[in-house]
Amino acid sequence: MNGGPSGFHNAPVTRTFVIACALLTVIFGVRGHAANLGLSYEDVIQSLRFWKVIASIFTFSSTPELIFGLYLLYYFRLFERQIGSNKYSVFVLFSLLASILFEVLSLMVHKDKFSIVLVSGPYGLIFSSFIPFYIDIPVSTRLGIFGIPFTDKSFIYIAGFQLLVSSWTRSLIPGICGIFSGSLYRVNAFGIRSIKFPHFIAQFFSRLSWSAPRSLPERPDNVTNTNHHSERNFGSSVSSVPEPTESSVATLVSMGFDGNSARLALLRARNDINVATNILIEAQSH
């Protein structure tokens, strides 16, 4: 299992976010301010330092956290490829806002028990992403190391655990808040999964990320467009083939292909993953 093709192909929002995090961490780190950007009760309740809230979203407080954080953000670009940049933008915004709200509530609850400064960085987005990672991404490889069973997903979990406990309580709270945020998105709280931004917002991210290579079309919104896309890219009728399983679609998505294109390729290939992979690669090369 991997995050799909190397680079940020079909993932302009992720590219923009990763670059912003890297640049701001370096800038604040050089000035010696990165370690001081974590949120506290005084910052968000008493002093209302909203600039610090914004800065803390994008800036990791240390080099190890930057390394593990960027690695996970880069890997989770597969979700942008799966649902499209527009809906992924909604997921990013919802995860960050909801996790910050949970963090503020946590600071308010514990303000009389102990003084704590939470670690900075996009923990809300990273740990929200572990919810669809756990549920939707299948295991494709199993292996044993010194008799201990591992899967290809284990290494992502290890990186996440390292980031979660990097600063103990200071990092545990933002990580747990991110998991809560991802869970809310998963259960479609407030109908969030049906929301889409105006098209120009996705184009804005593409321009910021210096125009990623030509990508597969995002998931169409109606059946007519889907059928037309199928006939154009994959040729013959697929109406008599059983609907592909979610695990088969997820396997192709984890390779970097668009979710709808993966489903159509599986239909055309009569649910043979290897044949569907070749169909998708051929479609991309045209």
Q: Where along the chain do its domains lie?
A: 12-194, 216-285
Three-state secondary structure call for residue 175: helix
Written as one letter, the residue type at 123 is: Y
Q: What is the pLDDT of residue 206?
A: 58
Pick from 25, 151, 1: nearest CA to 76: 1
When pLDDT is averaged across residues 79-92 and rounded to a whole number, the result is 89
3-state class percentages of the chain: helix first, strand second, coil last, to nearest 5: 65, 5, 35
CATH number of 12-194, picked from 1.10.1300.10, 3.40.718.10, 1.20.1540.10, 1.10.10.350: 1.20.1540.10
Q: CA 52 → CA 24, 39, 63, 91, 274, distances in Å?
A: 13, 7, 20, 22, 49
Assess if CATH 2.60.40 describes domain 216-285: no
Residue 187, pLDDT > 80, answer yes
Distance between CA 264 and CA 234 in Å, rounded?
Answer: 8
Span 202-235, pLDDT tens digits: 666 656 655 444 444 444 444 334 444 444 444 4
Q: pTM value?
A: 0.75
When pLDDT is averaged across residues 262-286 and rounded to a whole number, the result is 79
Residue 237, pLDDT > 60, answer no
Three-state secondary structure call for residue 62: coil
Q: How confident is the model at residue 155 (pLDDT cuts 50, 70, 90)?
A: very high
